[in-house]
Amino acid sequence: MSRIELRQVSVRVPATDGEHEILHETTLTLTESRIALIGANGSGKSTLARLVNGLVEASSGRVLVDGLDVAEDGAAVRRRVGFVFTDPSAQLVMPTVVEDVALSLRRTHKDKGVRRAAAMAVLERHGLAELADRSVHTLSGGQRQLLALAGVLATDPDVLVADEPTTLLDLRNSRLIGDLLCALPQQLVLVTHDLDLAERCERGIVVDDGAVVYDGPAADAVAHYRATV
């Protein structure tokens, strides 16, 4: 597993009265295969997750992935860390399913024909091959989230950060995506409101009002969170 380090990291944003600290100084080392970040909306858990690949910049401190500093080696870190958003619309940008996966492979597969074949192999692996030439806009919510995941996993990252990937899905598709995430060989950093899914992780980190308030085994973290809401 990768080693993700947050060393005295804080995040501040401009406010009318100066600056607002949305993540207080935080130091964490993440080495487990499945890590759940739990907390209410606006607690700072998504901010914490987005620090890992530079989607959010630290105002102070350092973020490192396997020794690479996100601020200094952002491109190298992003090749190691894939990110899946809550709403797949933020990621699906090409007209068809196969084209969207192929876009993820443009750096590693220069030849267009080879790239399409590799994209088809990815779709086959995720049970989406029959939808290859469908418009991404005609897919169901579950299919769209599965496609977004497939596009990220096509680049074979070491770490996958998933920001509430089941929030917009029905129960069946939530279970499907949850099962896929829990079976991945990649290290998973999971932001979630789904406490059953959080309990399937090894480690749970509860974030409240921009600070880590509990850090331990996932089941214990969920119990702590349930007791405070």
- pLDDT, tens digit, 9 for 90 and up, residues 129-144: 999 999 999 999 999 9
Burial of residue 166, with CB atoms counted within 10 A of its CB: 0-12 exposed, 13-18 middle, 19 or more buried: buried
Three-state secondary structure call for residue 46: helix
The pLDDT score that the predictor gives to residue 229 is 84
- Kindly report the CATH number assigned to the domain that includes residue 121: 3.40.50.300
Evaluate whether 159 touches 186 at the Cβ level (below 8 Å).
yes
- As for how many domains the chain has, the answer is 1
* Tens-place pLDDT, residues 151-174: 999 999 999 999 999 999 999 999
Among residues 48, 68, 67, the alpha carbon closest in space to that of 58 is found at 48
| 82 within 8 A of 159, measured Cβ to Cβ | yes
Q: So what's the pLDDT on residue 17?
A: 83
In the structure encoding, which two tokens stand for residue 17, read together? 């009265």
- The range of the structural domain enclosing residue 115 comes to 4-228
CA distance 155 to 147: 13
CB atoms near residue 87 (< 10 Å): 16
| Residue 100: closest CA among 130, 127, 132, 74 | 132
Distance of CA 34 to the CA centre of its chain: 12
SS3 135: strand
In which element (H, E) is residue 103 found?
A: helix 97-104
Three-state DSSP class for residue 177:
helix
Q: What is the DSSP letter of 192?
A: -
Q: What is the pLDDT of residues 40-76, one digit of tens each?
A: 999 999 999 999 999 999 999 999 999 999 999 999 9
- Number of other residues whose CB lies within 10 A of the CB of residue 159: 22
Per-residue pLDDT averaged across 191-215, rounded? 97
